[in-house]
Amino acid sequence: MIDSMEKKVLVLNLDHSPVAIVTVQKALVLTILQKATSLANFDYLRIRTIDREFFYPAVIRLYEYKNIPYRGVMLNRANLYKRDNFSCQYCGSKKNLTIDHVLPKSKGGKTTWTNLATACHRCNTLKGDKTPEQAGMKLFALPFRPTLSYFLVEYAERHAEEWIPFLQVRSV
């Protein structure tokens, strides 16, 4: 097999929600075993074996519903910054970024998607151990828990436009 083997394939659940990103080899195995069907191909790519030629799948959908409670995005520093577009949620600065507990830990604030916001060092220091209201500061947007789709759109725009019709941006 040749041709851009590094392209990734989007796997959708039976209800069309994204469940995974897999290699093309894995996607082909799933379709050959009839566990999934191809919904879109990378039209400009082909996979050739000695005697056959296959379309290169871009999006496949499982034939059976997989019960996956929450396929979210892992909460970590990089993903949090990404959600917040690498900018301080109080002043917009893109420098010296830190993580702010909106409701401070000392007041029972949890380390969760909905209580964390990207803040520059200056704003974080200004805010200190206060809530935004107490500090007289305002968040640009309420922190939310991003879905897998939310993050996939960014990837798709750069590497896999074929995925875009299958991705919905929404938060939970």
Euclidean distance between CA atoms 42 and 55, whole angstroms: 7
C-beta closer to Zn ion: residue 20 or 123: 123
Closer to Zn ion by CB, 37 or 115: give it.
115
- The correct pick among 37, 93, 98, 171 for binding Zn ion (CB under 5 A) is 93
- Restricted to residues 121-160, the positions that interact with Zn ion (CB under 5 A) are 123
90 binds Zn ion (CB under 5 A): yes
Is residue 89 involved in binding Zn ion (CB under 5 A)? no
Q: List the x/- string, 29-68, binding to Zn ion by CB under 5 A.
A: ----------------------------------------
- Tell me the two tokens of residue 130: 């206060």
Q: Give exposure, 36-59, as e/b (b: 16+ Cβ within 10 Å).
A: bebbbbbeebebeeeeeebebbbb
Question: Measured from the CB atom, is 93 or 114 closer to Zn ion?
Answer: 93
Stretch binding Zn ion (CB under 5 A), from 52-60, 93-101, 127-135, 139-147: 93-101
54: tokens are: 């296959």
CB count in 10 Å sphere of residue 61: 19
Contact (Cβ atoms closer than 8 angstroms) between residue 129 and residue 104: yes
User: Among 120, 137, 152, 156, which residue sits at the site for Zn ion (rule: CB under 5 A)?
Assistant: 120
| Residue from 29, 68, 91, 141 in contact with Zn ion (CB under 5 A) | 91
Pick from 88, 97, 137, 167 the residue near Zn ion by CB under 5 A: 88
Helix, strand, coil shares of the chain, percent, nearest 5, are 30, 30, 40
Q: Taking the mean position of all CA atoms in its chain, how far away is CA 69?
A: 16
Rounded to whole angstroms, how far apart are CA atoms 16 and 71? Answer: 13
Span from 65-73, 81-89, 105-113, 132-140 in contact with Zn ion (CB under 5 A): 81-89
Interface residues with Zn ion (CB under 5 A)?
88, 90-91, 93, 120, 123
